[in-house]
Structures are given as structure tokens and as C-alpha cells.
Structure 1
Amino acid sequence: MESVRIQLSGNRIRANGRIVAAATETQPAFGAYYDLQTDESGATKRLGLTVTLAERERQLVIARDEENMWLVTDARGQSRAGYDGALDIDMLFSPFFNTLTIRRARLHQRPSAVTLPTIYVGLPEITVIAAAASYSSTGTGEGIKVFTPGTGPDGTTLLVDADGFVIDYPGLATRI
């Protein structure tokens, strides 16, 4: 389950969200809290993330500077990298993070296909990798096909609203 409070100002987004996941055969139960900010173009500027498991709590901060380099701060320290020019972050178990690329590329407003470098955050282990995310749309909200490291070889077709926010991510979540 994901709950997100979103504030919009033009293309800027500020979001505070929480993900709660039950234990499965492949992952432990966990909770994640995030705080995200984008710039005026809709590109991610900062993500703060706290993941809580039964035995520990871990934190991560990813921030993009004016040179489009990313500073990643976690329990191991800090690192700075370009992540192949990524301007977006995608996070496992979160339909909301797909909204960032969809809105920035205006895929909810026009037919188009894009493949963009993306920072992909894996949960609950908090892995941070560079990945390519491919999106294609047939236009105004009918469905947007997504290929990211978490969707498999056939991708996933998302349903979005008129503002580009995901309302149905098959197999993961439906907005209520």
C-alpha cells in the first residue's frame, strides 16, 4: 500500500509518501517513508527515504546539484555520480514514481515513446543503480506502457489520469 500527499506548483512536485509492504516468500515486511522534491521542469532534485524493517532502520538521501550530478548519502557514507545523466528516480513498489517521468515527458498529453536514464531505488534493501526506463503512450491517458528493471520483459501498461498521475498499475496498485 502506498499513500502520497502531493503539492503541485506548475511542474514542481513536492511529495510525502509512505509505503507499507507485507512479508512475502522473497522479502520481509517493511515500511518506507519518503520526501521528494522536483524542480520547475519536473526533474527530481531531492529524495529522502527511510526504510524500517523489524530489525533495523536505514536512511538514504539522493540530491541532484546544478551540474546534474547526484550526491547519494547512506550508512556507508557519500558518493557523487552522474547516473548516466538521469533526471528521474523510480522506486520499487511505488506507482507514484512513474508519474514523475510521465509528467516531465508529457506522455499523458501526446503519443510518444522515450527511453531515459533513471536512478532506480530497490526496496527494502535500498539499492541505488543506474537504469534505463522506457515509456510509450498512445496519447491522453488511455494507457502508458512502461519498461523498467521491475516490470519484466513485456513491461506494464499503466492507466493515468488527465494530469499524468498513475491510477492503475496492474499487479501493484489501484488508486482509491
Structure 2
Amino acid sequence: MESVRIQLSGNRIRANGRIVAAATDEHVAFGVYYDLQTDESGATKRLGLTVTVAERERQLVVARDEENMWLVTDARGQSRAGYDGALDVDMVFSPFFNTLPIRRARLHQRAAQVTLPTIYLGLPEMTVTAAEASYGSTGPGEGITVRTPGTDPAGVTLAVDADGFVIDYPGLAARI
């Protein structure tokens, strides 16, 4: 389950969210709290998150500077990398993070195909990797097909509202 509170100011987004995931064969039960800020273009500027599992709680911060370099800070220290020019962050188990490139590329308003470099966050391990994400739209009011490291190779078709926010991610979540 994901719950997110969103504040919009033009293309800027400020979001505070929580993800709660039950234990499966692939991962332990965990909870995530995140705080996201984008810039005026809708590109991720800063993401802070806290991941809680039964044994511990850990924090991670990824922040993009003016040179489009990312500073990643966690318990092990800091690292700085370009992540192939990524402007977006995608987080496994989160329909909301797919909204960011959809809105930034205006795929909810037009027919287009885009392939974008992205930072992909694995949970609950808090892995940070460079990845490629593909998004395709056949036009306003149509579904948007997404291919990311967390999806089936054939992709998944998301339903979005008129503002580009994900309202249905088949097999993962639906907005209520």
C-alpha cells in the first residue's frame, strides 16, 4: 500500500509518502517514509527516505545539484555520480514515482515514446542503480505503457488521470 500527499506549484511537486509492504518470498515486511521535491521542470531535486524493517531503520538521501550530478548519502557515507544523466527517480513498489517522468514528458497530454535514464531504488535493501525506463503513450486519455527494471519485459500499461498522476498500476495498486 502506498499513501502520498502531493502539493503542486506549477510543475513543481512536493510529496510526502508512505509505503507498507507485507513479507513475501522475495522480501521481508517493511515500511518506507519518503519526502520528495522536484524543480520547476518536474525533475527530481531531492528525495529523502527512511526504510524500516523489524531489525532496524535506515535513511537514504539522493539529491541532484546544478551540474545534474547526484549526491547519495546513507549510513556508509556519501557518493557522487551522474547516473547516466538521470533526472528522475523510480522506486520499486511505488506507482507515484512513475508519475514524475509521465508529467515531465507530458505523456498524459500527447502521443509519444520516450526512453529516459533514471535512478532506480530497490527496497527494502535501499539499492541505488542507474537504469533505463521507457514510457509510451498513444494520446490523452489512453494508457501509458511503462518498462522499468521492476516490470515485466513486455511492460505494464498504467491508467493516469488528466494531470498525469497514476490511478491504476495493474498488479500493484489502484488509487482510492
AA paired with 1:93? F
> TM-score, length-normalised on structure 1?
0.99
2:149 partner SS: coil
Match of 2:169 in 1: 169
Q: Deviations over 1:136-174 (max 9, x none)?
A: 001113100000000021100000000000000000000
1:100 partner SS: helix
* Pair 1:28-2:22 in alignment: no
- Matched-pair identity in %: 85
> TM-score, length-normalised on structure 2?
0.99
AA paired with 2:14? R
Q: Does the 8 Å contact 1:141/1:164 carry over to 2?
A: no
Match of 2:59 in 1: 59
Q: How many residues align?
A: 176
AA paired with 1:75? A
1:102 partner SS: helix
AA paired with 1:14? R
How far apart in 1 are the matches of 2:128 and 2:141?
30
* Pair 1:72-2:72 in alignment: yes
AA paired with 1:138? T
| Cα-Cα RMSD | 0.4
How far apart in 1 are the matches of 2:55 and 2:29?
11
How far apart in 1 are the matches of 2:84 and 2:130?
7
How far apart in 2 are the matches of 1:107 and 1:17?
23
Which residues in structure 2 correspond to 1:7-156 (within 5 Å)? 7-156=7-156
How far apart in 1 are the matches of 2:34 and 2:141?
26
Kindly report structure 1 stretches of 4+ aligned residues shifted beyond 4 Å.
Answer: none
Q: Deviations over 1:90-121 (max 9, x none)?
A: 00000000000000000000000000000000
